[in-house]
Amino acid sequence: MNVKSIFLMSRAVIPFMASQRSGTIINIGSAASLRPPPGLTWYCATKGAVNLVTKSLALELAADGIRVNCVAPGIGESALLESFMGVSDTPGNRRKFDTMNPLGRITKPADVANACVYLASDESAYVNGVILPVDGGRSA
């Protein structure tokens, strides 16, 4: 799902964007592809593929006026939180993960959304092929 969804989306939107000579694609990767935790080998591998697809498409599509970037969230408030933590989502267990992060908390949906808004905006018009960690510095 992590790679096939990008393949299908690209096949659908790139011809339209290329005909308009502009567009922005923002893929969702994972900070786990930058600093892999144990026990998530295949997840990290698919998100690593997202990184490589992002960089490759950024190079291939730049001449068509299409920018391609990736947001790489850290562990955060999502439906997969308990799977990534490996324990129940309780305040005590969450505090353990909060203390592992330099900024002292897990990623919130708004953190990811704000990064996407930036990458979609004119303020990032010269940003292309970037994997942007949104993980409070954990992958640094």
pLDDT at 93 over 90: no
Q: Domain 4-134 is classified in which CATH homologous superfamily? A: NAD(P)-binding Rossmann-like Domain (3.40.50.720)
pLDDT for residue 3: 95
Axis-axis angle for helices 41-61, 4-20 (nearest 10): 10
Going by pLDDT thresholds of 50, 70 and 90, the confidence category of residue 51 is very high
pLDDT for residue 83: 79
Q: Minimal CA–CA distance to 28: which of 8, 12, 11, 5?
A: 5
pLDDT for residue 102: 93
pLDDT for residue 137: 95
pLDDT at 84 over 80: no
Tokens linked to 78: 């999502």
- Token look-up 């005909």 returns 19
Going across the sheet that includes 66-73, the strands are: 23-28, 66-73, 131-134
- Annotation says 126 is catalytic: no
Distances in whole angstroms, Cα of residue 14 to Cα of each of 65, 103, 116, 135: 11, 37, 19, 29
Going by pLDDT thresholds of 50, 70 and 90, the confidence category of residue 76 is confident
- Token look-up 């994997």 returns 131
What value does the mean pLDDT of the chain take? 93
Q: Which of 43, 66, 73, 107 is catalytic?
A: 43
Distances in whole angstroms, Cα of residue 100 to Cα of each of 7, 95, 139: 34, 9, 11
Domain positions in the chain: 4-134
pLDDT for residue 133: 97
pLDDT tens digit string along 96-113? Answer: 888 888 999 989 999 999
DSSP count for the chain of H helices, then E strands: 5, 3
